[in-house]
């Protein structure tokens, strides 16, 4: 009898240990607290900025217990990924649009399926009714800030070469127009060359190498992102020049490698552009799925960092 009691007590104890976790699992697997699923159509691009942005999205998804479906491709692949997300009936979509145009049809399909789309880090020319919000920097502001710094350092007179991002991409278009808006007010400053480095360090290096080989004379390199500016640093060094002195180098993004280059004196300035957009992205998407209002444009604040103030950046770059 005593033995039976001991066995019974043991079985009861084991059951008590196992049951709560069984209930917890049931609660997440079954209805009620079903996990939200979000698709993220990211651009395939060889830049540390973009990797940091992807990490920001992944970390926030994890923190919130959201199931994230990540696709990293070119624009055609992004369109296909969105269609795939729609078929999988995701609850929301984050899209970092490679270029400005070509989105109307697929965004309409998402809207027809009742799936909200939040634009991360770049804008599109599709109607505002097809997307919830654009979360990004003010790219024209970044261009103007860079130009003001250049005009001051050149004292209103000198030659600039511009390393363009993708000419069809929203930030490249606006970083050029914002920059020119200010430069055009200085008759002594001339942009002597402007060419795409496709956002890449290696392409940026090749473009500047070609300019140097062709004997192009310049006082400033203005690059639409830090990666291309670091390519310009390499090109100048291999031509026996001293970047940061023989020509000033300014760009946009504020990645850690640019801060290090500023510290060494290879680069002179960078305008911050935050890639840490995961938290705002999910906040907006969650609000949209609940039918709550979301601002059409959520602009993250930026400031310029140069040799005088780069140590003030809270993380010394992204």
Task: Give the range of 45-53, 63-71, 206-214, 241-249 binding ligand GYE by CB under 6 A.
Answer: 45-53
Q: Considering only 43-51, 61-69, 154-162, 280-288, which stretch makes contact with ligand GYE by CB under 6 A?
A: 43-51
From 38, 40, 41, 50, residue interacting with ligand GYE (rule: CB under 6 A): 50
Angle 232-233-237 from CA coordinates, rounded to 5°: 115
173 to 165, 170, 178: CA distances (angstroms) = 8, 5, 9
Task: Name the one range near ligand GYE by CB under 6 A: 33-41, 47-55, 144-152, 307-315.
Answer: 47-55
Identify which of 157, 192, 194 has the alpha carbon closest to the alpha carbon of residue 177: 194
Near ligand GYE by CB under 6 A, which window of 42-50, 124-132, 188-196, 215-223? 42-50
- Is 179 a binding residue for ligand GYE by CB under 6 A? The answer is no
Shortest gap between Cβ of 42 and ligand GYE (angstroms)?
11
Return d(Cα 201, Cα 281) in angstroms, integer: 28
Residues 117-176 that bind ligand GYE (CB under 6 A): 121-122, 171
50 membership: H or E segment, kind and range: helix 48-64
Nearer to ligand GYE, 109 or 202 (CB): 202
Using CB under 6 A, which of 56, 201, 225, 284 touches ligand GYE?
A: 225
Measured CA to CA, the distance from residue 304 to residue 309 in angstroms comes to 9
The distance in angstroms from the start CA to the end CA of the chain is: 69
Q: How many helices (H) and strands (E) does the chain have?
A: 10, 12
Distance of CA 48 to the CA centre of its chain: 9
Q: Which residue among 145, 162, 253, 266 contacts ligand GYE (CB under 6 A)?
A: 253
User: Residue 270: left (phi > 0), alpha (psi -120 to 50), or beta?
Assistant: beta
Return the SS3 of 265.
coil
Residue from 86, 132, 273, 286 binding ligand GYE (CB under 6 A): 273
Asked if residue 198 binds ligand GYE (CB under 6 A), the reply is no
Q: How far is the CB of 273 from ligand GYE (least distance, A)?
A: 5
Nearer to ligand GYE (CB atom), residue 100 or residue 122: 122
SS3 assignment, position 42: strand
Torsion of CA 283, 121, 151, 186, to 10 degrees: -110
Give whichever of 197 and 243 is closer to ligand GYE, judged by the CB atom: 197
Which residue ranges make up the site for ligand GYE (CB under 6 A)? 45, 47, 49-50, 121-122, 171, 199, 225, 252-253, 273
């Amino acid at each position: 009898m005593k033995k039976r009691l001991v066995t019974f007590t043991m079985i009861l104890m084991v059951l008590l240990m196992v049951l709560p976790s069984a209930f917890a699992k049931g609660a997440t697997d079954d209805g009620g607290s079903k996990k939200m699923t979000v698709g993220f159509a990211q651009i395939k691009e060889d830049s540390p900025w973009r990797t940091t942005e992807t990490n920001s999205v992944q970390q926030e998804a994890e923190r919130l217990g959201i199931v994230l479906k990540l696709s990293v491709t070119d624009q055609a692949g992004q369109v296909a990924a969105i269609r795939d997300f729609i078929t999988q009936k995701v609850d929301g979509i984050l899209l970092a649009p490679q270029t400005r145009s070509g989105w109307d049809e697929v965004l309409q399909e998402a809207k027809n399926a009742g799936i909200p789309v939040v634009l991360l880090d770049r804008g599109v020319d599709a109607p505002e009714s097809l997307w919830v919000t654009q979360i990004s920097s003010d790219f024209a502001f970044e261009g103007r800030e860079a130009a003001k710094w250049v005009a001051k350092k050149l004292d209103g007179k000198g030659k600039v070469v511009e390393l363009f991002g993708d000419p069809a991409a929203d930030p490249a278009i606006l970083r050029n127009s914002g920059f020119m808006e200010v430069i055009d007010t200085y008759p002594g400053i001339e942009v002597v060359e402007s060419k795409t480095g496709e956002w890449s360090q290696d392409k940026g290096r090749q473009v500047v190498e070609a300019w140097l080989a062709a004997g192009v004379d310049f006082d400033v390199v203005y690059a639409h992102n830090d990666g291309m500016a670091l390519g310009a640093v390499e090109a100048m060094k291999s031509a026996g020049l001293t970047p940061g002195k023989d020509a000033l180098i300014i760009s946009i993004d504020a990645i850690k490698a640019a801060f290090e280059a500023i510290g060494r004196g290879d680069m002179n300035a960078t305008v911050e552009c935050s890639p840490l957009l995961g938290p705002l992205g999910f906040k907006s998407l969650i609000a949209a799925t609940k039918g709550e209002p979301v601002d059409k444009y959520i602009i993250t604040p930026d400031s310029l960092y140069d040799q005088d103030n780069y140590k003030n950046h809270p993380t010394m770059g992204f």
